Structure 1
């Protein structure tokens, strides 16, 4: 505090130059814009002269391999923030704000827009809270790109009723998804979460109707895992270490068997035939 006041005192006591005080002359060697001809504008964009393959590489470097979190905003239609999620730990995702992704390049001309926008949609993970997904996706990125978004991550941080999940799954089925991640941070006990996400429940039936995935993950948030480290690994009465997340991992494995891989559809049809309580309905 004293050093701050001392600095202010030095600034206050510093003598100010008089208005008639002689200053250094202005340099005379400077550009005279009145006599200099303006630079000749290029007739075309040099980027368009490159092969399409090179332009796609440039697009990938500028605005691909990111995780984009979209959330509702009071002042704007939606907002975008970095998201702490990487589906492949060996390939960490860069977490940046959308203005830093180089998307301004898409606004330069129609051709770059049509070529680059699919890269932005297909090569990024769009992360939403389940409560806002069905409402925000039509606004950003927009229903016009529902067929180009390939990677979606859903945060299940608050309870969502069955109708909200139905709207969510209806929208997901409209996409041509390659990866889907559902991150839950809501339950303090893994067992109720596993029961609500069971294959024979309405939630599971709607999830199984999403076809063509290359990767699926249902996990707990890092915040939950860090807040409950003792509940992840426990010791039973015989002194053996028990993984409390094992039921969830087994459930995710069952979903992957029916949804991921080249033989998933065949296993899924066999699973439907084994059901004894009538045909599964996602409605």
Structure 2
């Protein structure tokens, strides 16, 4: 990102990392719905990768096939082929594989996943061994011959974006959404993944596959939660909630730092609207580093 377009860059970068994590949660939830699986079938979910243990049944394979098509169709149309989720169901196990051979099976799974990576969008461009007509061109949503979003590099620029000093540029709706997510994350206490959307929800997938993300500034009341979704506390352990860590060390605004910002003429509109405890932006961290001001970080608390 160039300097004149970097206002809000910290929020976008923070949001993109979080968005991928939330997308993984939404994909897992959709696959479990389509295959009739319990959340206890999720063996691994970390670093953008997940592993499910499922019965080797035709109904499960059909459910996974449908979920893969729904996920691929949405990703292909939303991100124009720049983001994809590689899935494979080639690896099968028997009871004996859990006793001494499980590591071999995990390596077999990784090999199958590597093969899937070498066949990107095969389900989108082929059908029953034949090329799908029109599959190699995007629909009307792709800005052929037009200017694309200067921040993300794809998508039609439609939303006004402040660059500082009263100037604006136009960015894509995805970029604008990422900035909003980044702003909400600074104060977020919990997230929720469910099929129940709301006015501030982030939607994944389409039609009956739709799965929503909600960001909560306070821990929801479990007794009155009727969404039937998954609730995760962010960066803390809370009874009744799962836990997701979105940062290990987050530089945050303190009263001392606010005073030093003011003393050295570093106060700006973004800082003025920030509250004590909010995460610092990249620009603020850079300004602090230039003037050798000590940054106070609050690590994720360890519970013994």
Report if TM-score (shorter chain) is over 0.5: no
Which structure would you say has the larger Rg?
Answer: 1
| Larger helix fraction of residues | 1
TM-score by length of 1: 0.24
- Whose relative contact order is higher, 1 or 2, with alpha carbons under 8 Å and at least 6 apart? 2
TM-score by length of 2: 0.23
